[in-house]
Structure 1
Amino acid sequence: MPLPPSLMRATALAALATSLGLAHADNVIKIGEINSYKAQPAFLEPYKKGMELAITEINAGGGLLGKKVELITRDDNANPGDAVRAAEELLSREKVDVLTGSFLSHIGLALTDFAKQKKVFFLAGEPLTDKIVWQNGNRYTYRLRPSTYMQVAMLVPEAAALKKKRWALVYPNYEYGQSAAATFKTLLKAAQPDVEFVAEQAPPLGKVDAGSVVQALADAKPDAVFNVLFGADLSKFVREGNTRGLFQGREVASLLTGEPEYLDPLKDESPNGWIVTGYPWYGIQTPEHKTFLAAYQAKFNDYPRLGSIVGYSAIKSLAEGIKKAGSTDTEKLITSFKGLQVPTPFGRITYRPEDNQSTMGGYIGRTKNEGGKGVMVDYRYLDGAKFQPTAEEVKKLRPAD
């Protein structure tokens, strides 16, 4: 029995829509990205701009494998469960080719496990926990940013050179903070056997009672302080520390504080002389950074933050991996990322075959309050490859793929 004309037209339109959809899908490489945009805007708004700049440059150059590149982002609400649900939706509904993103360490770990279960390629851009490439590492997951271990290892020689015996520690009470503190104690004790750790404060992330934390540290009478707080927690800690004199006559070594997203909000409260990791965008004179800086400022009429570097370099890493693989096939990407070299604004980096960790390094220097604004001075770039465990050590830390 022939179909009625109206049903024939509807069927034909449905078939046309399907074919157009497939044609569109075949002509686009989709990158699915998941992050804590609402919870951590200081870092992740610049991060997203960095990704957008990279996508613009790639598409202006003809795309990848002759296809346009599309970025599809989702907010994880700073919740591991929501992150996994977002990843599921990106794969099943949006049909993304690869996954990237995450900021908070516990969310990065959730997505690392998701990648293993679903056998999908995942590039962790920002989360710093060592477990992503060591204890919980898997063949589907790579990580861009220097890990907690790497960044602490960059700070420890500076801390040991101070020859301060009594140290106090303050860190956010979740995976990143806990591992940063544990690594600092281990590495500093190895470098300076007579060191004593006289106080530890571990407030919940985003909920620091700065007055009581500062007072508890001051009561321990340390010679120096190791700080891992960042964002709003850092601002509160610095304000109370300045008010109560915690930093007077004491050295401070501080992870992340030299990053503009955390140093800039301190304004005239910015501390002087802290040893920090960070990003002095205003003073880096390498050709690759000058090119990036000019392109970023032209597109956004703003200066980059460290998040901008990480977002940009994550997309560029995926682009290089896809080009080398000649495909977005997961197995081919896994192979192409082994030893993959990527040009970034910080210079060329390599994804180590031993643990899927990139060799991106970082800047270390001192803070200075310059006319009511915090800047980094006396800084230098440290190559991440020099602050990573050996291949033999990694074998003990990481399960076999």
Structure 2
Amino acid sequence: MLKIRNLSAAFGLALGLAFASGAAHAQDCTTKIGAVLPTSVDWGRPIAETAQFAVDQVNAAGGAAGCQIEMVLRDTQVDPKVGVDAAKALVDLEGVKVLLGAVSSGVSMPILTSVTVPGDVLQMSCCSSSTAFTGLAEEGKTNGLWFRTFATTGVQSAVGAKVAADKGYKTVAVMYKNDDWGQDMARQIAADFAAVGVEVTSSVAINDGQPSYRAEVTEALSGQPEALYLALYPAEGTAAVREWLSLGGTQNMILANALKSDEFRDNVGMQYLGSALGTDTASPRSESADAFRAAYMQRFDSEPNGPGLANSYDAAMIALLAMEAAGKDASGPDIAAAVAKVTDPSGTPVTADTAGFKAAKGVLAGGGTVMFQGATGNVRFDGNGDVSAPAVVWSFSDSGTEEVEYMSLADVDAFVASLK
């Protein structure tokens, strides 16, 4: 599970490694990329560290497109306005052509529409899952600049419905974050739960920063549901669940991946979460995923169990591979167009590490394409910049989380199809 590490020390080490690597390769240029990630929350810091890990590996391979890479990181605080301001600074002042982030769909969306699309900047998100991005891409409003390495809310919603059906719940109340992501989850859940015969007794929006959620919880309890589905982040999730339990709500809970957090578990109390089951997308059972896990443990001395870590690594590495394929001084649209060259199913397989990046350089320089084999497997983007993924059901434990069930990509696709 997530472990709070000394971020400044980790980033100091990362910068030291990057500097040493740059000196070793005697390069005299640096290219900046931007990252807008929620480093002020416990689950966001490891996501940022993992992106920096990918940057360090690329710099050890000689950088991308002839230059060392500097990742300029800004905190979004999971706040749309803060995120947009941070992204604007990175694009307008730092001149980045690639932006990693954000995590929350409610932060990524305004950045996409008001900063990266108007600024011709490639935006690669590790974790935003709202299907609203798919709709925007289908309407031609992303200009091909949007990609994400995390599957849409449809996967989590479907697996949540499976959990409810498997547990035999007939009625479920839903509390969701009142932003793009939460609203999308609520829409998906209503349809998927109905498809498996589970009634949603109420669907209640939760806003940030309220002194109390008693009114919202009272509304959710009014239908006397057998279980509670939570599509919330840890801060408001903790407050809402405490209120729920204090008013006699059930401990039968289904949790979206945003609550896969030490902060949530510790602040609510493990004694109240024994019946809670969470859902998340997952890395495939593949050699590339195992290799990432081993490399991560060597770097951070912990398992990559937090939300979005494998996805963050792949987002950074694919963006940097695309920069290599596009060449020095390439524009954002050129880099976005080059994503297809580094995720080509018919391309030369390359591993997700320094050696793999070096190998990719040679293939791309010779006019070939590569098939990136990453922490989340052989990443395949569709025409909207979306991916699909395997999934897991998990539970909290005293030391973190434990896997309850794994669903392969084929299993997920088949179950999602059955709901239609």
Q: Tell me the TM-score range normalised by the shorter chain.
A: 0.7 to 0.9
- Identity of counterpart residues, as a percentage? 19
Matching of residues 2-401 of structure 1 within 5 Å: 27-38=29-40, 41-113=41-113, 114-135=115-136, 137-138=141-142, 139-192=144-197, 195-207=198-210, 209-247=212-250, 251-256=252-257, 259-261=260-262, 264-265=265-266, 266=268, 268-269=270-271, 271-278=273-280, 286-304=286-304, 305-326=306-327, 328-338=330-340, 340=343, 341-353=371-383, 355-359=384-388, 361-368=389-396, 370=397, 372-383=398-409, 386=413
What secondary structure sits across from 1:357 in the alignment? coil
TM-score w.r.t. the length of structure 1 is 0.76
Q: Provide the C-alpha distance between the structure 2 equivalents of 1:117 and 1:25, rounded to a whole number of angstroms.
A: 32
Q: Given the two structures, how large is their TM-score scaled by the length of structure 2?
A: 0.73
Tell me if structure 2 keeps the 8 A contact 1:263–1:375.
Answer: no
Q: Distance in 1 between matches of 2:83 and 2:53?
A: 24
| 1:6 matched residue in structure 2 | none
Deviation track 1:93-123 (CA, whole Å, cap 9, x = no partner) reads: 3222312211222221111112221222211
| Partner SS state of residue 43, structure 2 | helix
Inter-CA distance 310–217: structure 2 relative to 1 (3 Å threshold): same
Distance 2:218 2:35 in 1: 41
Check conservation: 1:260, 1:278, Cα contact below 8 A. Answer: no
- Say if 2:126 and 2:308, in contact at 8 Å, map to a contact too: no
- One-letter amino acid of the structure 2 residue matched with residue 131 of structure 1: A
Count of residues in Structure 1 that have an aligned counterpart in Structure 2: 356
1:325-349 CA deviation, whole Å, 9 max, x = no partner? 3454333323222482532223222
Range with greater deviation from structure 2 (294-303 or 110-119): 294-303
Q: 1:79 to 1:169 in 2, by over 3 A?
A: closer
**Distance in 1 separating the partners of 2:253 and 2:230:** 7
Q: 1:149 to 1:279 in 2, by over 3 A?
A: closer
Change (3 A) 1:325 1:269: farther
Structure 2: gaps (5+ residues): 1-25, 344-370
Distance 1:84 1:202, change over 3 A: closer
Q: Which amino acid aligns with 1:378?
A: V
Structure 1 stretch displaced more, 117-126 or 258-267: 258-267
Instruction: Say if 1:169 and 1:225, in contact at 8 Å, map to a contact too.
Output: yes
Q: Which has the larger displacement, 173-182 or 143-152?
A: 143-152
Spell out, residue by residue over 1:61-101, the C-alpha distance to the aligned partner (whole angstroms, 9 max, x if none): 22223321110112345443443333333233322231221
